[in-house]
């Protein structure tokens, strides 16, 4: 097992009232964890979303005001950079600066992480893959290649190609069994001595009120029931990385993120993104059976409750580990 030098770093102080927090527990895992389904929702025109469930493409109306997926992903990236002050936690600074390292970003979306990181490390080569062509097609740095690729299938790379693999916020896209499959594939294409890093959010809103708690629990339960997808993916990612017998030197780091404008621009962006995310899941959870108008009203009311509480946090994690053999 890859646990030789396990270390946990808690970087920011916990909020004072951490012990009053209310956690929503997932009571039990669904029996059938073996279906390879994937759920993504991305706007393909001004008011339409594409949702994938497995290989099935569904179209639905997106009534969210901020419906530009690339804009949203750019915004999320820069809020994360503001939070962490770096684009990665693995010890790869020297490698990226001085060697011709090969880097893979999985589920790269609009390519913001790659575009931002590749400019800082011009000697290294960056590859971004995503099932949707949200990334720039022509105008990009010369050390960047983007490809359209479904990570639920075997990756189009040989074994031991990449020095560093980065994957962020895939929690709403991978089923329980897909997580196992994807990590195995990533470890296959990672070089011995290379690092894999995963960044995920808890989606546990500490100090949330009754409206937010009820909505969050319902949406989470519905995604598990319908698709075998658990968006509270941080513990799953941690467990799968730690359980992979080709990985060692497991590390983790976490940051608390304020939700709401009391937390400055970061809190404002994070809450807006949470609202966008829950609204965009409307089709996937069939508006929880209450109809679109009522669903939207429930989301607005939960988001207002969070904003007014001025003490709600979520937690973002980075996990990283090294492939054995060097
Ligand atoms: C929440 S976004 C995260 C984007 C980016 N990693 C970031 O941190 O901003 C999830 C991305 O995963 C992509 N995705 C979902 N399922 C996928 C699959 N099976 N294969 C490849 N990409 C996938 C989506 O198209 C979307 O761009």
SS3 per residue for the chain: CCCCCCEEEECCCCCHHHHHCCCCCCCCCCCCCCCCCCEEEEEEECCEEEEEECCEEEEEECCCCCCCHHHHHHHHHHHHHHHHCCCCCCCCHHHHHHCCCEEEEECCCCCHHHHHHHHHCCCCEEEEEECCCCCCCCCCCCCEEEEECCCCCCCCCCCCCEEEEEEECCCCCCEHHHHHHHHHHHHHHEEEEEEEEEEEECCCCECCCHHHHHHHHHHHHHHHHHHCECCCCHHHHHHHHHHCCCEEEEEEEEEEEECCHHHHHHHHHHHHHHHHHHHHCCCCCHHHHCCHHHHHHHHHHHHHHHHHHCCCEEEEEEEEEEECCC
* Confidence label for 60 from pLDDT (cuts 50, 70 and 90): low
* Confidence label for 137 from pLDDT (cuts 50, 70 and 90): confident
Nearest CA to ligand 1 atom 16: 173
Total structural domains within the chain: 1
Residue 183 in this model has a pLDDT that exceeds 60 = yes
Residue 30 in this model has a pLDDT that exceeds 50 = no
Domain that holds residue 124: 37-323
Q: Is residue 193 part of a domain?
A: yes
Residue 58 in this model has a pLDDT that exceeds 80 = no
Both tokens assigned to 292: 């679109």
**How many other C-beta atoms are found inside a 10 Å radius of the C-beta of residue 323?**
25
Q: Is residue 70 part of a domain?
A: yes
Nearest CA to ligand 1 atom 11: 107
Q: Is residue 183 part of a domain?
A: yes
Q: Is residue 10 part of a domain?
A: no
Residue 110 in this model has a pLDDT that exceeds 50 = yes
Q: What's 145's domain CATH number? A: 3.40.50.150
Q: Is residue 7 part of a domain?
A: no
Interval between CA 111 and ligand 1 midpoint (Å): 10
Nearest CA to ligand 1 atom 17: 131
Nearest CA to ligand 1 atom 13: 107
Residue 8 in this model has a pLDDT that exceeds 70 = no
- CA-69 nearest atom, ligand 1: 27
Whether 114 lines ligand 1, by a CB cut-off of 6 Å, is: no
Residue whose token pair is 């075997």: 154
Q: Is residue 20 part of a domain?
A: no
- Looking at the DSSP bridge assignments, the partners of residue 164 are 103, 195
Substitution site in 173, 178, 317 for ligand 1 pocket (most atoms within 8 Å of beta carbon): 173
Query: d(Cα 249, Cα 6) in Å, to the nearest integer?
Result: 6
Tell me the mean pLDDT in the region 112-133: 95
pLDDT of residue 14: 34
Q: Is residue 6 part of a domain?
A: no
Would you say the C-alpha torsion 61, 67, 73, 78 has a positive or negative sign?
Answer: negative
Whether 169 lines ligand 1, by a CB cut-off of 6 Å, is: yes
pLDDT of residue 229: 86
Whether 42 lines ligand 1, by a CB cut-off of 6 Å, is: yes
Both tokens assigned to 197: 């890093």
CA 50 to chain centre: 18
Q: Is residue 157 part of a domain?
A: yes
Q: Judge contact between 232 and 171, C-beta under 8 A.
A: yes
Residue 131 in this model has a pLDDT that exceeds 60 = yes
Tell me the mean pLDDT in the region 145-165: 96
Task: Identify the weakest region by mean pLDDT among 66-75, 247-256, 257-266.
Answer: 66-75
Whether 109 lines ligand 1, by a CB cut-off of 6 Å, is: yes
Substitution site in 52, 130, 277 for ligand 1 pocket (most atoms within 8 Å of beta carbon): 130
Whether 107 lines ligand 1, by a CB cut-off of 6 Å, is: yes
Query: d(Cα 144, Cα 126) in Å, to the nearest integer?
Result: 5
Whether 44 lines ligand 1, by a CB cut-off of 6 Å, is: no
What value does the mean pLDDT of the chain take?
82
pLDDT of residue 5: 39
Interval between CA 18 and ligand 1 midpoint (Å): 31
What is the radius of gyration, based on Cα positions, of the chain?
A: 19
pLDDT of residue 28: 27
Q: Give CA angle at 220 (214, 221), nearest 5°.
A: 90
Task: For strands 48-53 and 39-45, give the pairing.
Answer: antiparallel
**Quick one: which of 238, 254, 315, 191 has its CA closest to 3?**
238
Interval between CA 20 and ligand 1 midpoint (Å): 34
Residue 168 in this model has a pLDDT that exceeds 90 = yes
């Amino acid at each position: 097992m890859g646990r030789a030098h396990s270390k946990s770093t808690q970087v920011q102080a916990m909020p004072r009232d951490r012990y009053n927090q209310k956690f929503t527990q997932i009571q039990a895992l669904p029996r059938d964890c073996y279906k390879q389904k994937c759920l993504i929702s991305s706007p393909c025109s001004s008011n339409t979303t594409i949702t994938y469930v497995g290989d099935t493409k569904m179209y639905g109306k997106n009534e969210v005001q901020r419906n530009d997926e690339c804009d949203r992903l750019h915004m999320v990236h820069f809020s994360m950079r503001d939070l962490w002050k770096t684009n990665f936690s693995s010890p790869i600074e020297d490698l990226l600066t001085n060697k011709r390292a090969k880097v893979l970003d999985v589920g790269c979306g609009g390519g913001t992480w790659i575009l931002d990181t590749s400019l800082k490390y011009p000697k290294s080569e960056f590859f971004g893959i995503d099932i949707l062509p949200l990334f720039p097609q022509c105008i990009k740095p010369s050390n960047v290649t983007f490809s359209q690729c479904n990570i639920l299938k075997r990756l189009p790379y040989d074994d031991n190609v990449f020095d560093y693999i980065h994957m962020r916020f895939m929690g709403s896209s991978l089923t329980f069994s897909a997580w196992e499959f994807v990590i195995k594939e990533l470890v296959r294409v990672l070089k011995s001595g290379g690092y894999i890093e995963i960044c995920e959010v808890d989606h546990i809103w500490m100090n949330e009120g009754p409206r937010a708690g009820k909505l969050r629990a319902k949406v989470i339960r519905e995604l598990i029931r319908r698709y075998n997808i658990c968006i509270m993916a941080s513990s799953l990612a941690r467990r799968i990385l730690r359980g992979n017998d080709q990985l060692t030197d497991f590390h983790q780091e976490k940051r608390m993120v304020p939700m709401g404008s009391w937390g400055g621009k970061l809190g404002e962006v994070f809450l807006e993104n949470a609202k966008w995310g829950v609204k965009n899941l409307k089709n996937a959870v069939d508006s929880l059976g209450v109809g679109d108008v009522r669903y939207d009203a429930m989301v607005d009311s939960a988001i207002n409750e969070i904003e007014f509480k001025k003490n709600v946090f979520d937690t973002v994690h980075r996990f990283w580990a090294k492939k054995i053999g060097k």
